[in-house]
Amino acid sequence: MGIFDFLTGEFIDVIAWVDDTRDTMVWRFEREGHEIKYGAKLTVREGQAAVFIHEGQLADVFTPGLYMLETNNMPVLTTLQHWDHGFKSPFKSEIYFVNTTRFTDLKWGTKNPIMLRDPEFGPTRIRAFGTYTIRVKDPARFMVEIVGTDGEFTMDEISYQVRNIIVQEFSRIIAGSGIPVLDMAANTADLGKLITAEISPVVDSYGLEIPEFYIENISLPPAVEAALDKRTSMGLAGDLGKFTQYSAAEAMTAAASNPAGGGMAAGLGAGMGMAMAQQMGNMAAGQPSGPWGRPAPAAAQAAPQAAPPPPPPVEHVWHLAENGQTTGPFSKADLGRMVGSGGLTRETHVWTAGQDGWLRAEDVRELAQLFTIMPPPPPGA
């Protein structure tokens, strides 16, 4: 190898980057002394951008294409170096390749529950998680604001910061939205757009953008979910009496079909069958039943029944006094017949239990009406 070949081999002729890591955002083209040959070829592929840093200053940004590194293709770097058009010596610059494709299936989620006031449940807490995509929108700003002099910058180095921004904006928007928790699932698409719009100005200042943002799930605490499940189950059960009968029949079927249950399964099935029979008998007799066919408590039995009718009035019996002798007792019907035959007059003294002494018949309100009711004239009179 001649001295000329050795010198030309010391400098770089082709500059390119092929990434197979799937998570590298920025990669620095390494060369001892960062010496680049004037007129070298720079290949920037689709989904990439090449950023030149010269003496600590951002010089040029190259979009996809094939470039000859000459003064006419590097206007900013040429101005910084005060090169003339005849310059053909090597120069020293750092070249960073920036991945501008989308980084997909990135996760976000709330580390702690979000407190909010729900219109139906009152104060409650929710959790949420989902996915998003991100890409470098402005390679120059991304290099200045985030990467700096890092020779290999990966998505993991910034994903934590992006997640914090997402969770902060999500918490603020969801707490002030006023959307009931039960309706949030139907509004995840609109909420995602609203959150993306609020996040965009922040990530834009980093030279990034979030093309897609998804809310996969919004959940309540386990205790609230359990209470909600019970409420839903009660609504599905409908008539609790029929539901109890159905559950008992299902249990009997399961016990009878279990060969390992033996006598215990048979006894359980027989006992449940008797309970159902007793319950059906109570229903036929109009007596409400409780669980397992037992009669319902007294409070439950009395509640649906009407009040009993008042007891009939007690019919008095009467004694009569005539010539120092007493006769009786006579019912009111007997006395009515005696009035018709003359055996009872207005002056006859009468007495009944609870009455204060003997009174004339016409002075007793209950008997006075016997003397005022006269039959109509007989036919033909």
Residue 76 belongs to a domain: yes
The angle, 0 to 180 degrees and rounded to 10, between the axes of the packed helices 365-372 and 332-341 is 40
Q: Are 317 and 307 in contact (CB under 8 A)?
A: no
Dihedral over Cα of 123, 127, 130, 136: its sign: positive
DSSP 3-state of 316: coil
pLDDT for 166 = 92
pLDDT the model gives residue 128: 93
Torsion angles phi and psi, residue 322, rounded to 5:
-140, 125
Q: What is the mean pLDDT of residues 104-122?
A: 88
Whether residue 284 is contained in a domain is answered as no
Number of domains in the chain: 3
Whether 146 and 185 share a structural domain = yes
Q: In this structure, is residue 159 part of a structural domain?
A: yes
Alpha carbons 232 and 249: distance in angstroms, whole number:
22
Is residue 377 classed as helix, strand or coil in its secondary structure? coil
Encode pLDDT of 324-374 as tens digits: 788 878 887 887 788 777 778 888 888 887 777 888 888 887 777 777 765
**Final residue belonging to a domain, choices 69, 99, 129:** 99
pLDDT of residue 99: 95
Residue at a domain's end among 224, 241, 273: 224
Residues 94 and 170 in one domain: no
Degrees (nearest 5) of the Cα angle 278, 279, 281?
65
Q: Coil, strand or helix: which one is 260?
A: coil
308-332: per-residue pLDDT in tens? 777 766 677 878 888 778 887 888 7
Using CA atoms, how far apart are residues 117 and 331, in angstroms rounded to an integer?
78
CA 337 to chain CA centroid, nearest Å: 83
pLDDT at 282 > cutoff 70: no
The answer as to whether 217 is a domain residue is yes
Residue 340 lies in a domain: yes
Note whether 168 and 212 are same-domain residues: yes
Confidence of residue 142 (pLDDT cuts 50, 70, 90): very high
The CA distances from residue 349 to 19, 322, 356, in Å, are: 130, 8, 12
Q: Is 215 inside any structural domain?
A: yes
Q: Which one, of 156, 160, 208, 133, lies nearest residue 24 by Cα? A: 156
CATH of the domain at 201: 3.30.479.30
For residue 357, what is the domain's CATH number? 3.30.1490
Residue 232, both tokens? 């839903």
CB 153 within 8 A of CB 26: yes
Q: Based on the domain organization, do 159 and 48 belong to the same domain?
A: no
Residue 159 has pLDDT above 80, yes or no: yes
Contacts of 309 (CB under 8 A, 6+ apart): none
Which of 55, 74, 99 represents a domain boundary (last residue)?
99
Residues 6+ apart with CB under 8 A from 374: none
| Whether residue 193 sits in one domain with residue 118 | yes
| 324 and 336 together in one domain | yes
**Domain that residue 72 falls in:** 3-99
Q: Report pTM.
A: 0.55
**Domain shared by 215 and 169, yes or no:** yes
Same domain, 21 and 113: no
Is residue 32 assigned to a domain?
A: yes
Residue 130 has pLDDT above 90, yes or no: yes
Total residues found in the chain within this entry = 381
d(CA 71, CA 86) in angstroms, rounded, equals 9
DSSP 291: G
> Is 240's pLDDT higher than 80?
no
Is residue 293, in this structure, part of any structural domain at all?
no
Distance separating alpha carbons of residues 63 and 247, to the nearest angstrom: 71
Question: Which residues 6+ apart lie within 8 Å of 174 measured at CB?
Answer: 114, 116, 126, 128, 184, 191, 218
- Indicate if 184 and 109 belong to the same structural domain: yes
Q: Higher pLDDT residue, 79 or 127?
A: 127
DSSP per-residue string spanning 94-144: EEEEEE-S-EEEEEEE-SSPEEEEETTTEEEEEEEEEEEEEEES-HHHHII
Supply φ then ψ for residue 28, to 5 degrees: -95, 130
**Distance separating alpha carbons of residues 222 and 113, to the nearest angstrom:** 12
Residues 129 and 43 in one domain: no
The verdict on 47 and 59 lying in the same domain is yes
**Does position 272 have pLDDT exceeding 60, yes or no?**
no
Same domain, 214 and 323: no
